[in-house]
Structure 1
């Protein structure tokens, strides 16, 4: 489920490089976003696709369209919306794409970072994250190879996760009612904020992880 980048040295030997994580977007996966605003009964103005398809909406959330073919160069700073969402919903490892839950304990290994984790005031055992879980087998490689994890990371196991919010591109109508991007990307919108969801195109799902327990042993440290 993962791909591996390779390089060739001057002797002609092919050497493996950093494995491309399952959730990373590829250059050939971008898709056009043909959007409009329409007036919906009871909810008012709402962002929609010009040609709606099954799967565009998840509850009250309009989700960004992407292809899912893993073609083209890895876009290391971007996540594929479809795969990120699937990892969150199915508890799949963001690196290998396989089930992340420990079959013996039922707990889910998770790496958190300063940029993808938000504490919940008054609840030290829970938090909000846009980073999917990482299975125990992939954690050591991730910590050693990923530059972002060298800056800030912590390893946990968690008991459960619940959808809580999205990261989104935000739109507003122009004078003719056409959608115009506001310039806000990765804007945090809670699933309990319908007035903001109406103007949001979701790119990532944010979940609340609960009963967080430190798991340094999974990182290979005492």
Structure 2
């Protein structure tokens, strides 16, 4: 578990002030018009599905924690490998499903939920409920038996001249053609077959 000081917990997915990425990255339209790309793109800029991701340096523990800003690479790793968003170790996973803690917005829950928050382990769930300001306002602890990778959350672009034009930040599924025009910063799972433990 990372910590800026011995007495303060910094979530694994949080950004540190010495980690940088361009707030307004330069993207170009691909020559065949099929989406966006970096003009100096390298293999590491895309995931195995061909999705273009925000570039970010990785220096956890350096500088000051930026709790409100999620690091795209660590968020993606935690979601893909089902790691705890707080400590980075495996999330709590039993025969009843994987553990998630979500902010309670007061809205009714649907049968399937799209989440960009990685799962959590039981000790960190208790700790997060006490320390995280957003969760202190209300949270839902649940176990999900289904949690398929759904898509990404990111900035969508449209064709434009001289460069593609950003439109909005949105969640897009892997099967949506718009994903080729999206610069991803979070991996999204669809969770279902869940049981609410506390609310």
Same fold (TM over 0.5): yes
- Higher Rg of the two aligned structures: 1
Deviations 1:81-130 (A, max 9, x none): 0000001110000000000133x537311112246x9954xxx3x31111
Which stretches in structure 1 are left out of the alignment for 5+ residues? 7-14
Residue 30, structure 1, aligned to residue 8, structure 2: no
Shift of 1:68: 1.6
Aligned to 2:74: 83
Aligned to 2:193: 211
State whether residues 118 and 129 of structure 1, in contact with CA within 8 Å, keep that contact through their aligned partners in structure 2: no
Equivalent runs, 1:26-175 vs 2, <5 Å: 26-32=16-22, 33-40=25-32, 44-58=33-47, 59-70=49-60, 71-102=62-93, 105=95, 107-114=97-104, 119-120=109-110, 124=111, 126-175=112-161
Aligned to 1:3: 2
Match of 2:166 among 181, 196, 200: 181
Q: RMSD between aligned alpha carbons?
A: 2.3
Q: Matches of 1:39 and 1:22 in 2, distance apart?
A: 38
The 1:167/1:62 distance shift into structure 2, 3 A limit, reads same
Aligned to 1:10: none
Shift of 1:54: 2.2
Which stretches in structure 2 are left out of the alignment for 5+ residues? none
Shift of 1:192: 2.1
The 1:90/1:106 distance shift into structure 2, 3 A limit, reads farther
Task: Give secondary structure in 2 for the equivalent of 1:174.
Answer: coil
Residue 193, structure 1, aligned to residue 176, structure 2: yes
Q: Matches of 2:51 and 2:42 in 1, distance apart?
A: 14
- TM-score, normalised to structure 1's length? 0.78
Task: Give secondary structure in 2 for the equivalent of 1:55.
Answer: helix
Shift of 1:213: 1.1
Q: Matches of 2:75 and 2:19 in 1, distance apart?
A: 13
